[in-house]
Amino acid sequence: MAFGSLMILFLMFLNGATSEELCPLRRSIDVLEGEYFFLCFPGSIRDNLRSKIYTVNWFKESEGKVKLIQETHRLVLNGSFLEFWPAELSDMGNYTYQLSNGTYNVTTQKWSLNVLKRSKDSCFNTNHLSKRIEDDGRSYTLKCNAVPHNKNVTITWYKNCNIYDSANEEELNFFSLKVEDSGNYTCVVSISHAGRVFNTTSTTELIVKEGAAEVVKLEIIEREEMYVETQIGKEVILNCTAFLGYSGAAKPIYELYWTVRNINSCSESTKETDSICEKDCGIFNSGNKIYTSKLLWIKTVKEEDLNCNYTCLLKTTSKPQFKIFKLKKGSLPDLPSHVFTTGIIMAVLSSLVAVLMVVLYLMFRVDLVLFYRDITGKDDTIGDGKEYDAFVSYLKDSNVEERKFALEILPRTLEEHFGYKLCIFERDVSPGGAVVDDVHSFIDKSRRLIIILSQNYISDKVMYELESGLHKALVERKIKIILIKYMLISDYDFLPRSLELLPSRRVVKWKDDKSLPSNSRFWKNLRYLMPAKASKSNIRSHNLAMSPTSEEGTEVTTVCGESKTFL
């Protein structure tokens, strides 16, 4: 850093201690909304400002943005003070100031300002108070921390939001505290500015305790006689814990130790040579209670150890206490460590295998189901009373590519390659009939409703097919719907809301040339959603055996429920 900048920093901290009370160097400050508040920096800097050696700029950082503070009727730049008349919730943020002598600039961040909301049910905010705990019978002075640098103020004291003392004093003096003096003391400082009166408050919760110290009995907390199960040759650690009193009380005089033959203090040098040793665990807290503990380590249990009394003794200024520990042989031996370790490893491996199998099943569920259908020859279409595997719905006036997909690509693969029987209205139904009745009838005769969805899908005829299919799928539960997204759709508002009730897994996407091969993911997903069907070779054999004999040159075929003869 340049020498000039170092000089500025030196002057900033030279007399900081002399003004610490007026300008505390707190990193985080809480202030109530609607109250007067100010920020300032040490006296040595203020003196230099008066002599025009340095100038100062204030900055506020909020939501990652740093902004130069401009003076307003509410935010007043008063020398080394930044005053808020009053503070608002929008004032929350980090505040810094920059000193400059025309050549060098130094920016120092000192405050994180947090503006708290005022309480509607109380004269103070419970998050904006300090706490003092004192013993009764002592003298105590309660200071008002809200007094600003402007001494021309009026101070009013409240206890539990009721006027306590109307004297204009910065502090309350208690010559001898009593328990009934406990309460929340709030000082309200009133300041006049620009024809208005502003307040700033400070609240202290004073808790007065009875001065007489509670008599605490030091005791060993284990029951009088304890039996510990073990095995010959095993290691045993006995724990003796004593209660010593409460936090803040005078340190008790005590001695805690074990009485047993050939005992030493546990250390690095004795662990390998001595069979029994004790270790001091020191003093520890649990809540506001204080305990101490001492361990007795029996490295290898012998037969004669089962007949010994291991005594923990607590000596105090009053009557000493003791607890006796005894070892007894356990009915069952401990689980060998290698068996336990092997069991844990097997359990972890089994869990990993199970998780892996679930993941693999989710990834290859479609392939596994199709493989199962192929090897078992499963056929869900037998005996269900349906004539068609699927009714195909698409926009009849669509573009050439979509018509080609509906009339050529889809039936060529599903019918010729996989043996399904489709009913395509435009292809298979003779004109002249009642369209609404025909559609309703053919959907009833179909096991699936395939909807080829595109941006221009909706028309009156297709809308009827869609609504009829949705009613049968969602209300009557008579048919399952398969949605084919033939092309990208940017707006779904034209579709019925009931489509949102369909499971997302019943939607397959067409990906142009990538989906053309019969073994592509598109056809696998589509076959997975279609009913299980016997292989095409089986279907052909069955059809040859069951086809009727006809005159030469005559072909009999059935199209969507109508028998037609072609010469």
Per-residue pLDDT of the chain (567 residues; tens, 9 = 90+): 444 444 444 444 444 433 444 565 566 788 999 999 888 876 545 555 555 667 888 899 888 888 999 999 999 988 778 899 999 999 999 988 888 877 777 767 678 889 999 888 888 888 888 888 888 877 788 888 877 766 678 899 999 999 987 667 888 888 778 889 999 999 999 999 888 999 999 999 999 987 654 556 788 887 667 788 888 888 888 888 988 887 766 677 888 888 876 677 776 555 555 678 888 888 888 877 888 988 888 888 888 888 788 888 888 877 788 888 888 887 655 566 777 788 889 999 999 999 998 888 888 888 888 888 888 888 888 888 888 999 888 766 667 788 888 889 999 999 988 889 999 877 877 665 556 667 778 888 888 888 887 666 555 455 556 666 666 665 566 778 888 888 766 555 555 555 555 666 678 888 888 888 988 999 999 999 999 887 554 455 445 444 444 333 333 333 454 443 332
Q: Residue 426: helix, strand or coil by DSSP? A: helix
Is residue 368 domain-resident?
no
Is residue 546 domain-resident?
no
Query: What pLDDT is recorded for position 205?
Result: 92
Strands 130-135 and 75-78: unpaired
| 35/91 same-domain check | yes
| 109/154 same-domain check | no
Q: Let me know the angle formed at the C-alpha of 549 by 548 and 552, rounded to the nearest 5 degrees.
A: 135
| 322/254 same-domain check | yes
Query: What pLDDT is recorded for position 185?
Result: 93
CATH number of the domain that 387 lies in? 3.40.50.10140
Task: Tell me the β-bridge partners of 39.
Answer: 82
- Catalytic residue of the set 219, 465, 551, 552: 465
Q: Residue 252: helix, strand or coil by DSSP? A: coil
Is residue 361 domain-resident?
no
- Among residues 152, 180, 209, the one where a domain terminates is 209
Is residue 192 domain-resident?
yes
The DSSP letter of residue 388 is: B
Is residue 359 domain-resident?
no
| 395/513 same-domain check | yes
Dihedral, 507, 513, 518, 521 alpha carbons, nearest 10: -40
| 72/42 same-domain check | yes
| 310/426 same-domain check | no
Termini Cα distance of the chain: 104
CA distance 193 to 134: 38
- Give the residue carrying structure tokens 């892996």: 356
CATH number of the domain that 173 lies in? 2.60.40.10
Instruction: Please give the residue range of the domain that contains residue 160.
Output: 130-209
Which residues fall within 8 angstroms of residue 103, CB to CB, at 6 or more apart?
A: 4
| 40/182 same-domain check | no
Determine which helix (DSSP H) or strand (DSSP E) holds 110, and give its type and residue range.
Answer: strand 105-116
- Among residues 116, 144, 175, the one where a domain terminates is 116
- Give the residue carrying structure tokens 């980090």: 94
- Among residues 164, 181, 209, the one where a domain terminates is 209
CA distance 535 to 376: 10
Query: With a threshold of 0.85, does the pTM exceed it?
Result: no
| 228/185 same-domain check | no
| 19/109 same-domain check | yes
Active site residue 210: no
Number of domains in the chain: 4
Is residue 372 domain-resident?
no
Is residue 138 domain-resident?
yes
Phi, psi of 353 (to 5 degrees): -65, -45
| 158/102 same-domain check | no
Dihedral, 175, 179, 184, 188 alpha carbons, nearest 10: -20
Nearest alpha-carbon partner for 401 in 462, 467, 456: 456
Determine which helix (DSSP H) or strand (DSSP E) holds 402, and give its type and residue range.
Answer: helix 400-404
* DSSP one-letter string for 313-339: EEEESS--EEEEEEEEE-SSPPPPHHH
Task: Tell me the β-bridge partners of 147.
Answer: none
Is residue 364 domain-resident?
no
At residue 432, what is the residue type?
G
- Give the residue carrying structure tokens 């400070």: 202
Q: Would you put residue 445 in left (φ > 0), alpha (ψ -120 to 50) or beta?
A: alpha
Print the SS3 string covering 442-475: HHHCECEEEEEECCCCCCHHHHHHHHHHHHHHHC
| 531/463 same-domain check | yes
Q: Are 23 and 42 in contact (CB under 8 A)?
A: yes
| 528/410 same-domain check | yes
